Structure formats: structure tokens, C-alpha cells
Chains A and B, each alone.
Chain A
Amino acid sequence: MSFLLVFAIVLAIGLAAFVAGRQRARSQDDGTVKPHSRAHYHGWWAFLTGVVPAVLFLAAWDIGASAYLNSHIHSALPADVADGTVAHEDLAAGLVKSLASGLRKLDSQTLGALPSSFADLQPMLAAKGVALAPDTQDYMIPIATEANRVSDRLGMISAVVSIGLALIGVGYGLKGISPRARARNNVEKVMLWSLLGASTLAILTTIGIVLSMLFQTIAFFEKVPLSNFFFGTVWDPRFAAAGAGASEGQFGLIPLLAGTLYIAFVALLVAVPIGLMSAVYMSEYAAPKVRAVVKPALELLAGIPTIVYGIFALVTLGPFLRDISAALTGGTPFIQAQSILTAGLVMGVMLIPVVSSLSDDIITAVPRAMRDGSLGLGATRSETIKRVILPAALPGIVGAILLTASRAIGETMIVVLAAGVAANLTLNPFEAMTTITVKIVNQLTGDLEFNTPQTLVAFALGITLFALTLVMNIVALYIVRKYREQYE
């Protein structure tokens, strides 16, 4: 029986238990004893005692069963395959698994008289719409049938046990119903635990991010020395066809890091002055009516997906800048269509609303008294802003800029489309440079083998990016929080 079907049955048992429990609690309430909990809490408690253990068992069994099945398949592989490389063995196991899932689509009559050679089997499967890799071997067919049999048996056991558990649980829950039973407290305790569980998901995600990247990164550094990655100035990963033997690529981080920081710097040059000035104008000068129109319009910039910015840079701005530079020199353009300038400009515009909304919060947090004091001494508004408000808000603004910079470093789609893929080391903003995020996308798009340095390097890049932005975010959040406390 399939996982989903069993789950549905368990759920149905639980719902029946809910109705029964509620009914039972109602019928017990004869008005002599004051009930502790209302009837539906008894119902929910019966539901929980039935469903929770059964579902937990089902999930655990399912994970265990797939692991068992995996090892079963691996052990059944012939010796010459199992003795080969890990990748080869995994590949064979993967073929067996897809063969097994393909066999499930055949009817029992065909399964009874299964052909022993894959060449005969393939058309039968193809007729059912199952396409299999052509290097599926004959010896895999019995392994696959055996695997299906084992998994059927495991599935049967899990179905029987979890439905049994559900019934026992429901019985226990229903038996415990009495007017003074503390059903509400029980139900609320379970709810509290699930709320706690939900909030730990944030931690689990972070752990997941770090661990998943860490393992792949360690695997990468087993093949490429640390110093080559962190201090190498040449990026040349050399994609090799699968199994074509050793291909020594060079994985220097420096050109990518330089490109990332350069583009982020150009973006900040655009975003910080414009964003800051518009925030100042909005909070200090703009009439409420103007503010009501312009502010949402600027926020619209923040709501546009970054791919749209990237496309704009690729299709419109890049060619435009190239043509302008060609017109200026009268022939050869000195600005390339994909360049640091294009990517930085567009990214800067994307970041304007980020800077302006962050600094708007910070500027309005400066106490009224400081403003009034300065104006009362005869300073003009701009003098108040320049000499009183901005200095007072400076730490907060620095924090905001750091947060913005971390956004710029982690931005992907704009640079993928507008910055180019050539890993240059250059100071000329009119040339193309590439970034960490672009290379992560490049190395991992398309069909790939998972254990070559060419793909693993993406995780090393990813963890570098993660660490970089993490440090910036923590520092920025710390500064912003500290600053806020100062005036609260």
C-alpha cells in the first residue's frame, strides 16, 4: 500500500475518533459533575492519540525502509560493479531503482513472465511510457524485481503496524474520557510543542545550509588544495566530459571575489546617494500628498523581480551604452555590452528602495527634540539635516549600507545576465567581470556529475558567499539595533 493511502486511512481513523470522542464526552455530561474541558477538546485528544504515534511511525519507517532498500540493492549488485568506484556503484543502483519503478507500471501477468534480457523488456516498458537509460544491464532485472518484492513487504508491514497503532491510540484516547479528564491541557501541550517545533525550523534551515555546503566543500578541498582556491588568481574550471579522466582545472577565487566586490561597489555608488537623498527628501521636505504618491512608486521598484532588471540591462541598457560609446569614439565601442558599469548601474537602481526604506526608518527615529533644537537656533532645514540629523543617524546609516552591500553581493540574476561570464581581473569598469553568484549558476546548471571538482566548487563558492554575507548582516543588525536602543 502506498504511503499516501496509509496516511489517508490513519487520518480518517483520527477524524472518526474526533467525532466519537466529542460524542462520548457530551453524553457523559449529565449535569452532575462540572466537566473540566469542553467536549471538542476530548475529541481532539482522541484524534491526537490516534494520529500522532501512527504518523511518526509511518515517517520513521518510510525513511528506514528506503535506506534498507538502498543497501539491499547495493549488496545485490555483482562483485565487479561493487568493487568499482563509488560513483559507478551509485550509478548502477540508480539504474536499478528506475528500472524497479518502471516495472511497477506493468500488469501482474507480464510480471509473471518477465523477459530476462533488457532488450526484450525495453519495448514493453516503452509502451507504458517508461523511458529508461540504455545502459541498463540484464543482471539488473532480477535485482529490481527482488527490490520491488522487498519494498512491497516493507510497505505492507508499515501499513498494518501504523493502522494498528492508530486504532490502539484511539482506543486509549476514548477510554480516558471522563468529565474531570484534563483534555484541554493535554491538547494545548501538544499544540505548544508543535509551535516550538515550527520555530526551530529556522535553526534547522541554517544548520541545513551550513552542513549541506560544508560536506560538499570538504569533498572539494580533498581534490583541490585550499590555497589554490583562496589565493588563486586564475579561474579556469575546464569542464570535462563525464569519466574523461583527470582534468586539472584552476579554481582561483580572487577574480570572482574582485568582480563581486567591484560590481557591488559601483551599485552602492549609485544606490547610496540616490536612496539616501530620496529618503531625506521624503521624510523632511515632501508634502504628505506627494509622499503618498511617490513613496509607493519607489516601493514598486523594490517589488520588481531581479530577473526583470537583468533583462533590462541585457536587452536595453547594455546595447545602449555600447552604442553611445561607439558614437563617442566614432567607431569602436569602449564599453562592452556586458560590463561592470551596466551591471552596477542596474543593480544600483534595484537597491535604491532598499537604501531609502532602511534610512527612512533610521532618520525618522532621530528624536524630534534634536531637530527642533537645531531649527530653533536658526539653522535652515538642510543645515539641520546635514549637521544634526545625519551625524546622529550615521551609525544606523552605516548599518543600512552594510545590509545593502550584502544584498548586492548576493544578487544573482542581474549579474548573470548583465555582467558576463569571463573571469577577468581588471580595473576598467567598461569591461566584463564575473561574480561568485554567476559562477555558482554556471557550474550547476545543466546535467552534471556530482563528484567532480567542477561542480563541488560551487558549494565552496556558496559557503564563501554565505560567510561573507553572514558577517555583514550580523554586524549591520548589531549596529542598527544598538543605534535604535540609543534613542528609545
Chain B
Amino acid sequence: MTDISLDTLTTSAARPRRDIGIKKRYAAERRFRLYGVLAIAVGLAFLGVMLTSIISKGYTAFWQTTVTLPINFDEKIIDPSNKRATDPNVLITANYPKIAEAALIEKLGIDPNDKAEVRKLKGFLSDSSRVQLRAIVAADPSVIGTTRNVDILAAANLDSAFKGQIDLEVPESRRKVSDQQVEWMNKLKAEGVMAEHFNTGLFSYGASSRPETSGVGVALIGSFYMMVIVLLLALPIGVAASIYLEEFAKKSRFTDLIEVNINNLAAVPSIVFGLLGLAVFINFLGLPRSASFVGGLVLTLMTLPTIIIATRAALAAVPPSIRSAALGLGASKMQMVFQHILPLAAPGILTGTIIGLARALGETAPLLLIGMVAFVADYPTTPFDPATALPVQIYMWANEAERAFVERMSGAIIILLIFLMAMNIVAIVLRRRFERRW
């Protein structure tokens, strides 16, 4: 008896736990969680790296180096034979860069007759001085013969050097700025003559072959026109289509077809819309190439499915009790929709519209096909004039080799991202403030 009880006692006290692999299972659990965290970390890290890389390359584009020079509007250079009273062309074709150069020569204290020294100044000041000084003279011809301080843009390479982006350790022959120019630059910097200013030109200039005078001005206007067109066309048409499908259409083959169509259009590659625009709007209807009107139409077709899907969701979210109440009080179905359902669904519709617009603003591929890849230096006055768009401008700069263009490009990306961010924030705020949960 004692044997047995002892035996049972010992077994019950020291029975080894059956190994059901709990440790291994918990380890697997922890590993699985870790994979999840890693996945998210990879996504966020990429986002971080991408944004830092672009911002670090692009923020300098918002500053531009200028040289403040006392420009002497020398009559001997502008109008050597004194014919400007009779021939207005003299003031247009005058050698303005030479006055700017003369002012720089004087400032640096170089002997103007030392040809070798003077030649080293080549590429110090931007050639845009021609346009700038001409505008001053054209606005006020009496300035000729006087001296006034003017901010002249430094050439793109000097601008890069001033911002410290050119490695001065590299042998002189392999970089675009000579030692002499760097020395002059430092001298002017010490005198406070050469300095960085906020780059308003980035927002106002159009396309240019010189980086320092190229900007997103034309692209901003083109993008603005397109967004207005998309808003004016896609919002009413999209809302009308959704109202019909959600509130009026009886389920039939036809409405099924429309629905399948809309879902498919939402997933059609954007470049296909570009082909459509090229074949139908430009080739068949004969609308002008490169015009923001055509771009707006193409983007409208592309954005419509997004807006329709969002609007339908917003309409479906309005509870049926509202409908019943309106109908019960004697409203017609049309009155019910337009006076009761639509106002309640408006925040959702607007959110969807803004998100659709943001997508349209960043879209590039279809615009390439309808000829928005154009060198446009002048502001478009109507949506039918040649223009370009912000993302297309970025694409065009991406194909330029010069360092200064990469800077501009990154700056333009920052501008684009700021716009998109602002639109998304507005959408989120709208949703938070006005969306009702029923």
C-alpha cells in the first residue's frame, strides 16, 4: 500500500510536463510579429529616405545667388551712334551684358584692358542680364547715362559654387568653376555684394535653357487651368452619374454594364487615357496640341471614376430614414435627392473630389502623349494656348544633364508635394469636421 501511495505521490509531484512545443510556438509568434513590424518599418523607411533625398537636393532651389552691382547705363555701349530717337530697335538689340560685365570689372578692380583676365569672367553673371537690363531701359529710357544698383543673377555654376555644392577639391580642369572665379566670388561675398535671396523666379519664370532663369511659372498656370477644368467637368458629371446609379436606376443589364465599366475605368492605366486624348481630342476633333484644355479633358475622364465611386459611397451612407421622411412629407424623388440627400452627402463627395483632383495634379503619363512636353517660355493666356504642367515640367528637367536643373527639379517636386499635401489635409479636415456617422 505504502508502495503504491508513494509511487502515486512521486509521479504526481514530478510528472514532466508534456512538451507541446509552447516555447517554439511563442517564438514563432514573436517572429511573425517582428515580420509585421519590419514590413511597416521598410515602407516607412523608404518614405523617409525618399523625402529626405528629395528635400535635401531641392531646398536650395528656393534660394538664388545674385550680385548687386552699380550698373552704369553707359550711352557709349547702349547707343554708340546716338540713333535711339529715330530707331527704337537700338534699345532692344543693345549689348546689355556688356554693361553688366563692365560693372563687375569695376567692382572687382580688374584692368579692363587685360583681355586674359576679362575672359575669365565669362560665365560669372547670368546671360539673363540682357533681358533684365533691357526691361529697365525700356521702362524708363532716361536711365541711360546714369548709374543705379541692380541685382544681377549669378550664372548657374557660380550659384552652385556659392551654395557649396561644387567640390573644390576636384582639379580645376574638371569642374565648371575656375579657381579665379571662386576667388572673386569669395571677395564679392565678403563685401556683401554677392548674396543669396529667396528665389521668386522659380515661381514666375517659364522654360529656359539657362537653369537660373527657368522656373515653374508656366507649369503652375497650366496645372491650374487643368484643375479648374477637371473640377468644372468631373464634379457635376460625376455627381450626376452617381445620383442616377444610386438613387434612380433600377437594376438592369444596362446599369450593370455601366457599373462594370466604371470599375474598370478606375483601373485602366493612365497612359491609355493619353492615347484616347491624342486620337480623339487632337486627331479627330482637331483641338490644339499642348493645350491645357485638352489636358483638362483627359484628366477629367481619368478622374471621373474616382469621383463616381466616392460619391456613390457617400450617397449610400445617408440612411434610408431620411429618404422615407422626405418622401413621406410629399417631396418628389428629385426634390428628396437634391434637397436632402445631396447636402448630407456633400462632405463625402468633396473629400472624394479633392483626392481625385490630387491624383490628377500629380499625373504625368497621359499629358506626355498630348504634347504637353513643350518648351513654353510665355505665360498661356487662355486654356487653349500651349502650356505645360507641374509634373511634366519635373519630367523635362529630369532629362537635363546640368546639376542646376536637378536642383530646380527637386525644388519643383517639393512644390508639387506641398500642393498635394495641402489638398490631402483639406480632405482629411473636411472628413473629420463634417462627416456624420449615422
Which A residues are within 8 Å of any B CB, using their own CB?
66, 184, 188, 191-192, 194-203, 205-206, 208-209, 212-213, 215-216, 273-278, 280-282, 285, 294, 296-298, 300-301, 303-312, 314-316, 349, 352-353, 380-383, 385-386, 403, 406-407, 409-413, 416-417, 437, 440-441, 444-446, 450, 458-459, 462, 465-466, 469-470, 473-474, 477
Cross-chain contact of A382 among B33, B244, B260, B364 (Cβ < 8 A): B33
Contact between chains at B244 and A307 (CB < 8 Å)? no
In the complex, B368 has a CB within 8 A of chain A: yes
Do B39 and A273 touch across chains, with their CB atoms under 8 A apart? yes
Inter-subunit contact A281/B241 (CB<8 Å): no
Are A403 and B267 in contact, CB atoms less than 8 angstroms apart? yes
* Interface size of B in residues (CB-CB distance below 8 Å): 86
With most chain A CB atoms within 10 A of its CB, the pick from B240, B242, B275, B301 is B275
- Which residues of B approach A to under 8 Å, CB–CB? 25-26, 28-29, 31-33, 35-40, 42-44, 46-47, 50, 53-54, 57, 236-238, 240-245, 248-249, 257-258, 260-265, 267-276, 278-280, 283-284, 286, 301, 304-305, 308, 332-334, 358, 361-365, 368-369, 373, 391, 394-395, 398, 406, 409-410, 413, 416-417, 420, 424, 428
Question: Are A308 and B417 interface neighbours, CB within 8 A?
Answer: yes
Interface of B is mostly: helix
A200-B258 in contact (CB<8A): yes
Find chain A residues with CB under 8 A from B368 CB: 441, 444-445
Give the Cβ gap from A476 to chain B, nearest Cβ, in Å. 8
Instruction: Count chain B CB atoms within 10 A of each CB in A191, A198, A199, A416 and give the residue with the most.
Output: A199
What residues on A are CB-neighbors of B242 within 8 Å? 199
A contact residues around B40 at 8 Å (CB): 277-278, 281-282, 294, 298
Partner of B265, one of A206, A352, A412, A444: A206
Per the bound structure, the CA–CA distance linking A216 and B282 in Å amounts to 14
**Is the pair B53, A316 in contact by a Cβ cutoff of 8 Å?**
yes
The answer to whether A303 touches B420, judged by C-beta atoms less than 8 angstroms apart, is yes
Known: A298-B44, A312-B53. A380 touches B25 (CB 8 A): yes
Report the bound CA distance from A381 to B36 in whole Å: 13
> With A203-B257, A205-B301, A311-B413 as given contacts, are A212 and B275 in contact (CB-CB < 8 Å)?
yes
The residue on A at minimum CB distance from B37 is: A281
- How near does chain A come to B404, taking the closest CB pair, in angstroms? 14
How many A-B contacts at CB < 8 Å in the complex? Answer: 248
Q: Could you tell me if A213 and B275 are in contact, using CB atoms closer than 8 angstroms?
A: yes
Smallest CB separation, B347 vs chain A (Å): 18
On whether the beta carbons of A383 and B406 are closer than 8 Å, the reply is no
Shortest C-beta distance, B21 to chain A (Å), equals 11
- Can you list 26 residue pairs at the A/B interface with Cβ under 8 Å? A192-B248, A195-B244, A199-B240, A199-B245, A201-B241, A206-B265, A209-B275, A212-B276, A213-B276, A281-B33, A281-B37, A285-B33, A294-B40, A298-B40, A308-B413, A311-B54, A311-B398, A312-B53, A315-B57, A380-B28, A386-B32, A406-B269, A409-B269, A413-B365, A466-B272, A477-B264
Q: A212-B276, A308-B54, A312-B54 are in contact. Are A298 and B43 (CB under 8 A)?
A: yes
Give the residue of A206, A349, A381 whose beta carbon is less than 8 angstroms from that of B261.
A206
User: Roughly how many angstroms separate A307 CA and B406 CA in the complex, as a whole number?
Assistant: 14
- Select A188's contact among B236, B332, B410, beta carbons within 8 Å: B332
Contact status A380-B26, CB under 8 Å: yes
| Chain B residues positioned under 8 Å from A281 (CB to CB) | 33, 36-37, 39-40
* Inter-chain contacts of B284 with A (CB < 8 A): 212
Q: Does the CB pair B409–A311 fall under 8 Å?
A: yes
Q: Please, which residues of chain A bring their CB within 8 A of the CB of B358?
A: 303
C-alpha gap A114/B248 in the complex (Å): 60
The 10 closest A-B pairs by CB, nearest first: A410-B269, A305-B362, A281-B36, A212-B279, A198-B240, A277-B39, A382-B32, A412-B365, A199-B241, A195-B244
Candidates B29, B334, B363; contact of A305 at CB < 8 Å: B363
Q: Write the nearest CB–CB distance from A207 to chain B, whole angstroms.
A: 9
Q: With a CB–CB cut-off of 8 A, which chain B residues contact A201?
A: 237, 241, 304
Contact among A209, A303, A316, A416 for B276, CB-based, below 8 A: A209
User: Roughly how many angstroms separate A365 CA and B57 CA in the complex, as a whole number?
Assistant: 43
Also in contact, A410 and B270, with CB within 8 A (given A212-B280, A441-B365): yes
Residues of A within 8 A of B286 (CB): 66
CA distance A385 to B35 in the complex (A): 13
> Cβ of B241 and Cβ of A195 under 8 Å apart?
yes
